[in-house]
């Protein structure tokens, strides 16, 4: 019997490899995890939220990032790429580069069958360790359904859910609202993708 041991990478090794990688990878406490590609519906949903947000908060002090900006979560030794991150004020970068931030106020994840359990459990636990993180939105890509968690106090989060195309997602940490109809604009639920 041959035992295979997986290599444990340091954060520095991961960041060096990620600079040259042809595709995105997450880093979870020594392990490098290749990210799966997104579906067309996933892309449309994230894009719809991203597109509507700046139009509504124009003139306010927020920055929004989609998909390609890394998030560092030092407490858990995690690097990940949230679907959407919103920052109040200026981004706080890790080290000297401009590819990895540490201060999201709000994170949006579009759920897929392969990632939803992780997004709802461990990933949310990691996100909650970020000091300024206030709101987490999870958008189902297979039906008109959104889950929202808003921080009330340390260790206290309020849960709200929205269902149906006429529902309106109202953020608590930012003066912004969007209908589920707008979030799911041009999404074809008949497509079965993963």
pLDDT at 5: 53
What gap in Å lies between CA 106 and CA 127, rounded to an integer? 10
pLDDT at 190: 84
Question: pLDDT tens digit string along 122-173?
Answer: 999 999 999 999 999 999 999 999 999 999 999 999 999 999 999 999 999 9
What gap in Å lies between CA 23 and CA 129, rounded to an integer? 27
| Nearest residue to 83 (alpha-carbon basis) of 144, 141, 161, 134 | 141
Task: Flag residues of the chain having pLDDT under 70.
Answer: 1-5, 192-194
pLDDT at 1: 47
Q: What predicted TM-score, i.e. pTM, was given to this entire model? A: 0.92
């Amino acid at each position: 019997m041959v035992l295979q041991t997986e290599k444990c990478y340091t954060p520095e090794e991961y960041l060096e490899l990620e600079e040259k990688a042809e595709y995105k990878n997450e880093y979870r406490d020594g392990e490098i995890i290749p990210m799966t590609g997104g579906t067309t519906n996933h892309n449309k949903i994230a894009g719809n939220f991203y597109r509507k947000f700046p139009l509504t908060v124009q003139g306010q002090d927020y920055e929004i990032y989609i998909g390609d900006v890394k998030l560092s979560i030092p407490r858990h030794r995690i690097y990940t790429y949230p679907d959407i991150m919103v920052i109040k004020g200026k981004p706080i970068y890790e080290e000297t580069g401009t590819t990895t931030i540490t201060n999201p106020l709000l994170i949006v994840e579009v759920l897929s069958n392969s990632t939803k359990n992780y997004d709802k459990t461990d990933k949310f636990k990691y996100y909650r360790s970020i000091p300024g993180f206030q709101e987490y939105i999870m958008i189902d890509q297979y039906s008109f359904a959104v889950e929202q968690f808003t921080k009330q106090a340390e260790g206290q989060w309020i849960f709200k859910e929205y269902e149906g195309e006429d529902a309106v997602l109202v953020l608590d940490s930012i003066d912004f609202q969007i209908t589920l109809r707008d979030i799911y604009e041009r999404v074809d639920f008949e497509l079965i993708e993963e």
